[in-house]
């Protein structure tokens, strides 16, 4: 007879991640994993191509995702990230790879946390350099100033003022 009896020893236990293949949705291509620390990871394949279309992370387990990755531009990569650190439902930062080369081509930020994006930067010719920047300095939710490098030489060429209230050349 063996000295080891698996029925008499307590080896402790651990909680494995719990998976909900439907997460309250009727779509069987949605999977949510909840981990022992309360954090959650959700993945969805809405177009049924076998690649994730949305991935959401809830690191503190409160049910509100801090980061959501999406496939906004077609293809197989998750190319856009929405960051909502204060979990108010409005992302403070957005990063996008519009041509799916693996590099961020557009970034935007809500710097005053009012729910409207205040600053955006774009690499429109995908050379790795920012060639257009947009600002909302009066924080009204509308882009007031756009600075563009139209010939892509690394030097800003034009400034467009979209709001007379923030245009220093407009007379009152």
53 falls within a domain: yes
Is 80 found in the same domain as 149? yes
Shared domain check, 151 and 83: yes
Are 45 and 113 in a shared domain?
no
Residue 26: the pLDDT is 57
Q: Which domain holds residue 56?
A: 13-61
Q: What is the mean pLDDT of each run of 10 residues along the chain (172 residues)?
A: 42 43 57 87 86 90 89 80 87 91 92 87 94 90 91 92 81 64
C-alpha to C-alpha distance for 96 and 69, rounded to whole angstroms: 10
Judgement on whether residues 97 and 21 belong to the same structural domain of the protein: no
Specify the number of domains making up the chain.
Answer: 2
Regarding whether 139 and 78 lie in a shared domain, the answer is yes
Same domain, 148 and 73: yes
Residue 132 lies in a domain: yes
**Residue 129 in domain:** yes
Does a structural domain hold residue 120? yes
pLDDT at 171: 67
Q: Report if residue 171 sits inside a domain.
A: no
- Tell me, yes or no, whether 84 and 50 share the same domain: no
């Amino acid at each position: 007879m063996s000295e080891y009896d698996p029925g008499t020893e307590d080896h402790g236990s651990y909680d494995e991640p719990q998976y909900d293949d439907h997460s309250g949705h009727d779509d069987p291509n949605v999977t949510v994993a909840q981990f022992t620390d309360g954090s959650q990871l959700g993945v969805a394949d809405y177009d049924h191509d076998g690649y994730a279309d949305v991935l959401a992370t809830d690191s503190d387990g409160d049910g509100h995702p801090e980061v959501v990755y999406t496939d906004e531009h077609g293809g197989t990569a998750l190319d856009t990230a929405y960051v909502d650190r204060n979990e108010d439902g409005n992302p403070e930062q957005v990063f996008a790879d519009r041509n799916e080369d693996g590099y961020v081509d557009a970034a935007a930020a809500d710097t005053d946390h009012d729910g409207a994006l205040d600053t955006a930067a774009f690499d429109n010719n995908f050379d790795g350099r920012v060639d257009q920047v947009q600002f909302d300095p009066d924080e009204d939710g509308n882009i007031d100033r756009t600075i563009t490098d139209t010939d892509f030489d690394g030097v800003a060429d034009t400034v467009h003022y979209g709001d007379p209230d923030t245009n220093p050349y407009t007379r009152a």
